[in-house]
Structure 1
Amino acid sequence: MCGEHRSGCGGDVGVMAAPGGFAPNRGFFKRVLVTGGAGFIASHVVIAFVKKYPDYLVINLDKLDYCASLKNLEAISEEPNYKFIQGDICDAHFIKLLFETENINIVLHYAAQTHVDISFSHSSEFSNTNIYGTSVLVDAAYEANVEKFIYISTDEVYGGSLDEEFDELSPKRPTNPYAASKAAAECCVLSYWEKYKFPVIVTRSCNIYGPHQFPGKVIPKFISLLQRNKKCSIHGSGIQIRNFLYATDVVEAFFTVLKNGKPGEIYNIGTDFEISVQQLAKELIRLIKKTKSDSETEEWLDFVSDRPFLEPKYPMKLEKIHTLGWRPKVTWDEGLKKTIEWYRDYFHNWSNAEEGLVPFPLPQ
């Protein structure tokens, strides 16, 4: 039913325990559940929480899907205020037992299927994890009288635009199965505020980059391809524009929302920095391959077929999160340098990392 991993984070598999094998936790001020904590963004949240709040017990619940790795958490795997449990948010009996035995006060819900390309061919899996799994989790949290429930969503629920900036009240117009599943999950979570005044908050983030991200996403994919002397595979023309926020900055945004955010509210989290995918590839080529001319740089570009619908950009208004006292701190140049250095040493944190480098990811 569940697994607990207290040492030896070198592998991608937790140590399985018998059903009902939860151990009570005592001596901590609060107990925080982070779902998907062996994944990209949530692993940064877990590490920061464990280090910043030693009187909080941080429980990392993760299914250990293809894009998760416990190696991302080696820095805190032996800390007394960290606990890993392997489990599936779609297992209603398991989740109910988790809340009954772990006395959880706060939930930060990151666990999700997130890869847009895969969502077109596996939409039912995305619906099951992202919608049904979220409904299981929020219902169990409500029944357990949790103090705060933060649901991490995406700017993709707005759909794309070239001229309209989206604020938190803008209508949702998702254009792919992944975004549609996140939009539906948002509605599920917020209904508990409308019906019961259960203290939920929704965040919508732009593209996040940095260490710990499975190489199937654009920045780690381009970096890893170039470090292996392979070309950057660009969908379509590569003129689509994206905003990129460094991982430690979004962690601080989540902490700000947790501390100052109001129940029942939605908060956009993002940055004014934007860049086209083609320009992103060229910057990485110059940094990694040390090219001197445009012609040398363009030799490392490989334009592949476009996916069914690729939004031009996702412009968001950020005034609401700014009023809570948060703004990004890490510059693009600094964040990109740190990310390049990390993938040079830790690409193989996932046993299947090479599978993320194909132009169109293989279904898992």
Structure 2
Amino acid sequence: MSKKAKLQNIFLTGGAGFIGSHVAILLVKKYPDYNIVVYDKLDYCACLENLNEVMDLPNFKFVKGDIFSSDLVTNVFKENKIDTVLHFAAQTHVDNSFGNSFAFTQSNIYGTHVLLECAKNCSTMRRFIHVSTDEVYGEGEDFDAKPMDEEHVLEPTNPYAATKAGAEFLVKSYHRSFKLPVIITRGNNVYGPHQFPEKLIPKFINQILRGLPVTIHGDGLNTRNFLFVEDVARAFDCILHKGEVGKIYNIGGCNELPNIEVAKSLIKILGKESEMDDYISYVPDRKFNDLRYTITSEKLHSLGWKEEISFEDGLRKTVEWYNTYIHRYGNIDSALIAHPRMTGSGGAEATSPTNL
């Protein structure tokens, strides 16, 4: 990174959520000369306790706020002399997007637009890192398909992915029109501590811990590539300091597995292997469920990042965390049904903005 682009004051949206909290913790601890301002509205899948490790450190600040509030965002930018944005806040759960897709448009597109406009008008801005997803590429149609690189055409297949693709085009336009120093990331499925249990791995863990069968969508043969959250946090550290403005970086791993195999691994880890059949329940599939996503991360590897934590070790660390913090999110019964439609208060049948 050039001296001109030296970073010091980082504004991190969605930082009380899953991936954002891990990135915030890494940056606060690793860079005591940086000031990290976490900005989060504390919706149902966010939790301030996720930030307990750094809450009292001098280079950490938490601001409760909505990304829709341009006045508040602008004031926080000015007051803290923000020079970097890490934008994690988003609606992220595909099941929810089939139930109330308007909330995804509002959060993922309009919310990103507000942040871009605030950043455009901020004279100290040096980096705007927008967190997207591998789902913008669309479905990998077969298992012989070549991994998708950052230049692959975007063909999203569900409302969630479409809103993330739309947000990306806004981000690109602010780089081209206003020279905003943007970087975009597109990542595989992430798992680990702090994840609200509407997503596959924490959902399966919490179902098993409560003596419930895991709910497998369809035949369970759809695959996903899973990355442990600590590896992903290191990827963002690498991109933040070594990434090139105007570029896109895939964040992918080497753990492509069918959902049914993930379920069986967790059942074994939790000591229920002898009751395997009792702990597996097949339920109707989503309206549309991509077969697989396959991406190449060669550009990120060239910056020096590599995956370090094996899937087996990551799963065990994740199970251990949920065993210890089983009550972190209070009553999660609504999240453990086959096709949840979460609300801001954690109930079912509607949606509201969440955090990565």
Distance 1:347 1:139 in 2: 39
Q: CA deviation at 1:278?
A: 0.5
1:66–1:352 CA contact under 8 A, matched in 2? no
Aligned residues: 333
Q: CA deviation at 1:259?
A: 1.0
Q: 1:225: which partner in 2?
A: 207
The normalised TM-score by structure 2 is 0.91
What are the within-5 Å matches in structure 2 for residues 1-364 of structure 1? 30-145=8-123, 146-161=125-140, 162=142, 163-292=145-274, 296-364=275-343
Distance 2:271 2:280 in 1: 12
Q: 1:10: which partner in 2?
A: none
Give the unaligned 5+ runs of structure 2. 1-6, 344-356
1:226–1:289 CA contact under 8 A, matched in 2? no
Distance 1:223 1:363 in 2: 19
1:165–1:316 CA contact under 8 A, matched in 2? yes
1:347–1:353 CA contact under 8 A, matched in 2? no
Secondary structure at 1:289 match in 2: coil
Compute the RMSD of aligned alpha carbons. Answer: 1.1
Secondary structure at 2:10 match in 1: strand
Q: Tell me which moved more, 162-171 or 222-231.
A: 162-171
Q: 1:12: which partner in 2?
A: none
Distance 1:64 1:321 in 2: 31
Distance 1:164 1:309, change over 3 A: farther
2:11–2:39 CA contact under 8 A, matched in 1? yes
2:215–2:281 CA contact under 8 A, matched in 1? yes
2:226–2:255 CA contact under 8 A, matched in 1? yes
After superposition, the C-alpha distances for 1:38-80 in whole angstroms (9 at most, x for unaligned) are 0000000111111101111110000111100001111111111
Q: CA deviation at 1:355?
A: 2.2
Q: CA deviation at 1:354?
A: 2.7
Q: 1:24: which partner in 2?
A: none
Percentage of matched positions with identical amino acids: 47
Secondary structure at 2:85 match in 1: strand
Equivalent AA in structure 2 for residue 100 of structure 1: K
The structure with higher relative contact order (CA 8 Å, sep 6+) is 2
Q: CA deviation at 1:165?
A: 1.8
The normalised TM-score by structure 1 is 0.89
Equivalent AA in structure 2 for residue 302 of structure 1: S
1:269–1:318 CA contact under 8 A, matched in 2? yes
